[in-house]
Amino acid sequence: MIQTTIKSGEYYDSVTLLQVAQGLLKVHGVEDAAVVMGTPANKGILKDAGLLTPEAEAASADDLIIAARIAGKAKVDAAARAGELLKASRTSKAESGTEPPPKTLSAAVQQLAGANIALVSVAGRYAAGVARDALNQGMHVFLFSDNVSVEDEIALKTTGREKELLVMGPDAGTAILNGVALGFANAVIPGPVGVVAASGTGLQAVTSQLTRMGVGITQAIGTGGRDLSEAVGGIMMLEGLKALQADPATEVLLLVSKPPAPTVAEKVLKQLKASDKPAVVCFLGGKAKVIREAGGIPARTLEEAAHLAAALARGKSPDEALKSLRSQRRELKKLAKKLVGRLRMRQNYFRGLFSGGTFCYESQLILNKILDKGKIVSNAPVKKKKKYKMADANQSVGHTAVDLGEDEFTVGRLHPMLDPTLRNRRILHEAKDPETAIIFLDIVLGYGVHPDPAGAAVEAIREAQAWLKKERREVLFIASVCGTEGDPQNVLAQEATLREAGVIVLESNAAATRLAGYILG
């Protein structure tokens, strides 16, 4: 059955009419439809489609013909539906022709006058090209992408040095420039400490802790994890250091990294002498003596680095910071004695589930000194020692520290700082192991990461606790939260969430690790 409706005195563009016809075709029961002006040519089209009724034939070129073939007994008012669609085609909402997002870096630079920094987080194989483009346009670069070749990294950083532009990365998760958090970074207060870090979480840890102690930073320059390798030679660590040495607002320098290649460490330490500014150097697991000889102040942990820098910023002596940390350790030992009673005989082991690689590293260093039940294994062992590499990253054996941000966990998945699923599953898995004494977590806050990491972890913790209760067993949950009150997640709220769930919360990864070590050692 063909429904024909003629609308007189209405003009629509032929293109609009085609779209309305398509809309009619979507209506259940409409087998074919045409919405056309009554010109001879269009009538020919209707005839060919078998839709030309006498009514349509009689229409004039200024009439709108709505013709629809309806299936059997279907109840369709084609004219009404067409009317709705025609009305909708006259969009009342004025969609302004605002410029669409640019598709290239150069188009973007044209649209944003004075653009001075490019953030690059595209897939590794393309990232170097985009970064090079940005440098050529005179912009500093924050290169978040990993899987960039070492040759490209060297070329980019060499170009950056020549052009006096920052190349932060590749694999730089974090930086704070002029108070602005880049990548995964925290809301920190301004102050006199200038940071250069080859570790993302390391940068987050020291800057957050400084802010919590009321001491602010000028800049926190991230160099990317490979900067201090032999091949790259510490180019950005050196350039960053020089820039902060020359920066009038920076009074105290703070360098954070895993131990650099020896030749690179030498270069960096030599550069310290170029200025009078006190420099705290945290080469996690590195030799303190060499640093002292170069005139730097060695820090063995990220917490110590933050405390030392804070003391110096306040015009106090570093010894005061060390003293306060020693007293903290005494308190932790007291607390450990109280907690040990909650564990049963078989519960002997530390299970660290880390989202931050540097925290995993730091915890291993600390525990290796405290525990006497054998060294800790990890999927990312300190100094890459094969002896301490886990056979299966999914199966903890003895004392274990798992870096959930490592490749084996993140291929095709989001990083654990964004997606808590894998860690939550592992929390449950570890809780069910009768040998687990402590489940240890790092909670990392800031821009760009999960909106409620503590809440997410607590879900799994409560589930584990319910299960453990049935087994009449308890596991000690120990955690630290890396972040500030200014972060979207607010560190105080996150700590409260954890404590409400019975988690023992310490102010730093190092302190929390020490506690764990004192309990089990």
Partner 1 sequence: MAIQNLFGQSLKAVNVGLESFTESLRDQGVEAIHVDWRPPLEGYVEITHTKSGVDIDAANAEAVTRIRSGRPLLVGMGVARDVIPGYGERLILHAGPPVTWERMCGPTRGAVMGAAVYEGWASTYEEAAEMAAAGAFDFAPCHHFHTVGPMAGIVSPSMPVFIVQNETFGNRTYGTQNEGLGRVLRYGAYGDEVLAHLKWMETTLYPALKAVLRATGPIDLRSLLAQALHMGDEGHNRNRAATSLLIRQLAPALIETATKKVAVEVLKFIDSNDHFFLNLSMAAIKAMLEPAEGIEGCTLVTVMARNGTEFGIRVASMPEQWFTAPAPVVQGLWLPGYTADDANPDIGDSSITETGGLGGFAMAAAPAIVRFVGGSSALALQVTQEMYQITAGEHESFTVPALNFRGTPLGIDVRKVMATGILPFINTGIAHKKPGVGMVGAGLVRAPRQCFEEAFKQIAKGAL
Site for partner 1 in 70-89 (CB under 8 A): 89
Q: Report the site for partner 1 in 150-169 (rule: CB under 8 A).
A: 164-166
CB nearer partner 1, residue 25 or residue 80: 25
Among 2, 30, 34, 217, binds partner 1 (CB under 8 A): 34
> Whole-number minimum distance, CB 121 to partner 1, in Å?
3
Nearest of 75, 338, 304 to residue 209 by alpha carbon: 304
CB nearer partner 1, residue 157 or residue 429: 157
Q: Does 415 bind partner 1 (CB under 8 A)?
A: no
Binding mask 192-231 for partner 1 (x = CB under 8 A): --------------------------xx------------
Structure tokens at 51: 């839709």
CB nearer partner 1, residue 142 or residue 349: 142
CB nearer partner 1, residue 13 or residue 77: 13
CB nearer partner 1, residue 150 or residue 246: 246
HEC secondary structure over 234-258: CHHHHHHHHHHHHCCCCCEEEEEEC
Q: Does 355 bind partner 1 (CB under 8 A)?
A: no
Q: Is the peptide bond before 170 cis (omega within 30 degrees of 0)?
A: yes
DSSP assignment, residue 388?
A: G
In the block, tokens 């931050």 appear at 356
In the block, tokens 């080859």 appear at 198
Binding mask 237-276 for partner 1 (x = CB under 8 A): --xx-xxx-xx-x---------------------------
Q: Are 467 and 428 in contact (CB under 8 A)?
A: yes
Among 70, 86, 128, 177, binds partner 1 (CB under 8 A): 177
Beta strands in 64-172 (DSSP E): 64-70, 117-120, 140-143, 167-168
Among 91, 315, 326, 345, binds partner 1 (CB under 8 A): 91
What residues contact residue 239 under an 8 Å CB cut-off, 6+ apart?
Answer: 160, 161, 166
Among 6, 29, 32, 473, binds partner 1 (CB under 8 A): 32
Binding mask 428-457 for partner 1 (x = CB under 8 A): -------------------xx---------
Among 123, 150, 340, 397, binds partner 1 (CB under 8 A): 123
Q: Does 144 bind partner 1 (CB under 8 A)?
A: yes
CB nearer partner 1, residue 95 or residue 372: 95
Pairing relationship of beta strands 217-222 and 190-197 according to DSSP bridges: parallel
Q: Does 135 bind partner 1 (CB under 8 A)?
A: no
Identity (one letter) of the amino acid at 357? G
Binding mask 480-519 for partner 1 (x = CB under 8 A): --------x-------------------------------
CA dist 382 → 67, 356, 364, 508 (Å)? 76, 14, 7, 20
* HSE of 261, CA atoms in CB hemisphere, 13 A: 14
CA distance 438 to 452: 23
What residues contact residue 380 under an 8 Å CB cut-off, 6+ apart?
Answer: 357, 360, 361, 401, 403, 406
